[in-house]
Amino acid sequence: MPAPRRSPPQNRVSERSRRTYTRAVKPNPPYMATVVVAIVLMVIGLSLDGTFFTIAPLNDIVASLLKTVGIAVGEGFAHLLIIVGPTLLIVGSLVRGL
């Protein structure tokens, strides 16, 4: 004769709360200031790169500002700005308060 089946105790921790290693990442929308800064960085980077479009007055202003700080404006700097824009949006959605 098989043993009778017992129901699980009522005070047992639920299966979902025990699995803390599978917590879902819930991204927050980034602040509007973060979005604006990311878009401005991408536009400046694309303008400095010159592949899609060039805004000559913007390039001159950015070059003169960075020259006073001592940063050389070139293709590498333009590519860095193009990469920093989307990265800032990703970090801004994952880190609260950015």
Give tens-digit pLDDT for 60-80.
Answer: 999 999 999 998 888 999 999
Going from the C-alpha of 67 to that of each of 20, 44, 62, 64, the distances in angstroms are: 50, 15, 8, 5
DSSP string, 34-56: HHHHHHHHHHHHHHHH-SS---H
Token digits for 24? Answer: 């879902």
Over residues 16-52, the pLDDT tens digits come to 555 556 567 777 888 899 999 999 999 999 999 998 8
| Domain-wise residue ranges, the chain | 27-94
Sole residue written with tokens 């098989």: 2
